[in-house]
């Protein structure tokens, strides 16, 4: 679907007014262009689609997540990752074999804690793997990287900068994310742009748009802003003095741009909370699962633990269940799992992290099934970067490219997309990997698919035309359109 059909004049004017009051200056024209594209899609989206970004904060170790198991790859993996005082090599007889739906030239497996994701890949065919994706400005070979003949993303291997580059296509300081840009374009499909971009993990640059503002949900639903629901079911002011002052300021006239912005935020938050409280299904709704479904068994301690990621996905499921009531056709969501910066204690820490990820994906897939929404929701992973192939003793350090998961009923599941890297062995003198065309210093992966290609596949599925992709992904023209790996069924 080309998102350029019917224009919603009302939404366009609302967005233009919001941009004027925000005083965006030089960015105003660009923001208006995105707002116009979004407005042009109003009433034109006959179906419903949503993207859910699952961000693995800290940099997931892809080498112990998706593993090539052919003899040479495994030999080089075991040799490189066996280092004192603790090996970080997974037992070969414990990894979980994947059986792709179409013939693949190499054997491949998942971490032992990804049992449900193995099932979603092998049996259900609702999960795909995208190999070796990372931040790039333009296609880059190892020789070009070494000889510095092509541009390289700035500030590689830095958490803050690479997390921002993954989410906003620029180092720390970039303020508009590609999830937010998608929201700018598709917001016109919704009765209100207010619930187009939603985070269950606090403020995130990925959802920051030029015209659409992200809405933050708490784990229990809408966050109260200065109001509470009284015993009679009506909203009344809290005793919180700061909130009371902000709301009173919001009602005053002639308070200048800063006061007007406070007024807008306060009014928006209060209105959103009231709307959502009446629209969201109860957390006790059987389709959302019982509280015990938020728990998983720790592979390290054997104890039952509450899964924060599953709880975030549960409130996203509640929001999805309300989309007909709210008149929503296109949405983008953000959730986050913390703790993937595994410099030490990796074997236990990574097993715990992947066990919770596996549990959360399975919970969300089952919940979407109960809501009859599997085909209209695509869930995908992102992270700061992959990690080094070499070990620092009992962990790994900051890398570059990494492997990611894409789940949904519209996904061509059971497939490995992109290029699975060649795993080599390090040079004894300098920790480079001359035996691999895909590995650089310390065995970090040189990406073969860019974040922008990855995101463009998602944007296309959401209905964004190829002519609009450069408005979302400024470097997409540097990559062949045929090189954008599509995880979606025709």
Model pTM score: 0.87
Angle at 206 between CA 201 and CA 207, to 5 degrees: 75
Residue 100: what are its φ and ψ, rounded to 5°? -60, 150
DSSP code per residue over 349-380: HHHHHHHHHHHHHHHHHHHHHHTT-GGGEEEE
d(CA 212, CA 207): 9
Compute how many other C-beta atoms are within 10 angstroms of the C-beta atom of residue 457: 21
Chain position carrying tokens 């790996």: 485
Extract long-range pairs of 164-167: CB within 8 Å, 24+ residues apart: 164/205, 165/135, 165/451, 166/135, 166/382, 166/383, 166/384, 166/385, 166/451, 167/55, 167/204, 167/205, 167/206, 167/382
Residue 381: what are its φ and ψ, rounded to 5°? -100, 155
d(CA 156, CA 59): 12
Tell me the pLDDT of the chain (490 aa) as tens digits. 344 333 344 344 444 433 333 333 333 333 333 333 333 333 344 599 999 999 999 999 999 999 999 999 999 999 999 876 778 999 999 999 999 998 888 999 999 999 999 999 999 999 999 999 999 999 999 999 999 999 999 999 999 999 999 999 999 999 999 999 999 999 999 998 999 999 999 999 999 999 999 999 999 888 766 544 454 555 455 544 555 565 666 566 656 776 667 666 677 777 788 889 899 998 889 999 999 999 999 999 999 999 999 999 999 999 999 999 999 999 999 999 999 999 999 999 999 999 999 999 999 999 999 999 999 999 999 999 999 999 998 999 999 999 999 999 999 999 999 999 999 999 988 889 999 999 999 999 999 999 999 999 999 999 999 999 999 999 999 998 766 678 887 5
Question: In 3D, which of 212, 162, 161, 165 has the Cα closest to residue 184?
Answer: 212
d(CA 149, CA 82): 35
Structure token digits, residue 209? 């748009």
Structure token digits, residue 85? 């005082």
Burial (CB count <10 Å: 0-12, 13-18, 19+), residue 257: exposed
């Amino acid at each position: 679907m080309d998102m350029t059909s019917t224009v919603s004049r009302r939404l366009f004017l609302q967005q233009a007014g919001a941009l004027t009051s925000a005083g965006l200056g030089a960015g105003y024209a660009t923001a208006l262009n995105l707002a116009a594209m979004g407005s042009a899609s109003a009433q034109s989206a006959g179906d419903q689609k949503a993207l859910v970004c699952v961000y693995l904060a800290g940099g997931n170790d892809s080498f112990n997540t998706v593993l090539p198991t052919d003899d040479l790859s495994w030999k080089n993996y075991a040799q490189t990752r066996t280092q004192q005082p603790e090996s970080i090599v997974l037992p070969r007889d414990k990894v979980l074999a994947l059986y792709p739906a179409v013939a693949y030239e190499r054997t491949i497996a998942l971490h032992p804690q990804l049992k449900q994701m193995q099932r979603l890949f092998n049996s259900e065919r609702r999960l795909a793997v995208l190999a070796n994706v990372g931040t790039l400005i333009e296609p880059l070979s190892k020789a070009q990287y070494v000889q510095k003949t092509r541009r390289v993303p700035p500030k590689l291997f830095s958490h803050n900068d690479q997390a921002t580059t993954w989410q906003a296509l620029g180092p720390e300081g970039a303020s508009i994310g590609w999830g937010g840009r998608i929201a700018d374009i598709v917001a016109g499909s919704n009765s209100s742009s207010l619930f187009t971009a939603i985070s269950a993990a606090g403020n995130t640059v990925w959802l920051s748009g030029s015209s659409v503002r992200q809405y933050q949900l708490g784990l229990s639903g809408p966050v109260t802003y200065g109001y509470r629901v009284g015993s009679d079911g009506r909203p009344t002011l809290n005793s919180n003095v700061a909130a009371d002052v902000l709301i009173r300021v919001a009602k005053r006239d002639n308070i200048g741009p800063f006061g007007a912005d406070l007024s807008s935020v306060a009014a928006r938050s209060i209105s959103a909370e009231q709307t959502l409280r009446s629209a969201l299904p109860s957390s006790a709704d059987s389709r959302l699962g019982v509280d015990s479904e938020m728990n998983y068994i720790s592979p390290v301690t054997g104890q039952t633990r509450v899964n924060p990621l599953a709880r975030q996905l549960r409130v996203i499921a509640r929001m999805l269940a309300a989309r007909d009531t709210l008149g929503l056709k296109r949405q983008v969501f953000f959730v986050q799992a913390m703790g993937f910066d595994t410099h030490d204690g990796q074997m236990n820490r990574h097993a715990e992290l992947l066990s919770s990820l596996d549990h959360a994906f399975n919970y969300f897939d089952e919940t979407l099934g109960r809501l009859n929404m599997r085909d209209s929701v695509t869930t995908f992973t992102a992270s700061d970067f992959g990690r080094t192939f070499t070990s620092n003793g009992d962990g790994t350090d900051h890398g570059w490219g990494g492997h990611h998961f894409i789940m949904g009923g519209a996904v061509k599941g059971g497939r490995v997309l992109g290029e699975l890297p060649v795993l080599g062995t390090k040079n004894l003198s300098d920790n480079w990997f001359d035996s691999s065309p895909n590995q650089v210093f310390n065995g970090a992966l040189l990406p073969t698919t860019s974040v922008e290609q990855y995101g463009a596949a998602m944007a296309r599925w959401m209905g964004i035309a190829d002519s609009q992709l450069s408005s979302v992904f400024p470097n997409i023209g540097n990559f062949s359109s045929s090189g954008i790996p599509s995880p979606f069924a025709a």
